[in-house]
Amino acid sequence: MKCKRKAVKPSRRPWSDPEPELEPDTEPGSSEQEGSEASVRIGDSWRGSLRSRAGRRQGGAGGGRRRRQQQHGSSTKERSVRRLESNERERQRMHKLNNAFQALREAIPHVKTDKKLSKIETLTLAKNYIKALTTIVLDMSGACLPAGGVPSEARLLQCYQQHLEDEGEDGLARYLTQMRRFSQDE
């Protein structure tokens, strides 16, 4: 049983507590950061080059960064507040993502161990599980279809799409019930 994750990393300095040596009116990116491979010191650690990251994305978005800051034209404090709000939203987003992973873990059968499935294991198992279920359903239904009827794979897809339209969320159980009925009827 893992018991990890601290609520806040103590070694990381939040934006609400800016470096004291930072010039309040200096636009980040308007001086040496803009023109060179600038490393950024955050908390106790040095971060890699901003320029190299930007360059990987859009062939040099350093100017975009400056543009963004000019557009906002806000003070250091206002930017800090926005950063903190953004961080909070990102945390919430990741928590929702992790909840979805947990739900997926509980939905797929796997050899019970004390060890929690990792994310990559969860995705891989889920994919395999879906494939296996699909194979089973098609095998069970294929032999019983009337000649000239809708191919079983297409029917499966139809059924799934109908389910999505009708049910929205929380319909997996009903979908599975449908599938069972479908395979029994065939």
Partner DNA sequence: TAGGCCATCTGGTCCT
Partner DNA sequence: AGGACCAGATGGCCTA
* Contacting positions for DNA (CB under 7 A): 1-15, 28-29, 40, 42-48, 50, 52-54, 56-58, 61-62, 64-65, 68, 71-72, 82-83, 85-91, 93-95, 98, 116, 118-121
Residue type, 173: A
Q: How far is the CB of 67 from DNA (least distance, A)?
A: 8
Q: How far is the CB of 97 from DNA (least distance, A)?
A: 8
Q: How far is the CB of 102 from DNA (least distance, A)?
A: 9
Q: How far is the CB of 29 from DNA (least distance, A)?
A: 7
What is the pairing mode between strands 40-42 and 45-47?
A: antiparallel
Yes or no: say if 65 and 54 are a contact pair by the CB < 8 Å rule.
yes
CA atoms within 13 A on the CB side of 81: 5
Cβ neighbours for 56, distance < 8 A, ≥ 6 positions apart: none
Q: What phi and psi, each to the nearest 5 degrees, are found at residue 163? A: -60, -45
- Of 55 and 171, nearer to DNA (C-beta) is 55
- Of 4 and 112, nearer to DNA (C-beta) is 4
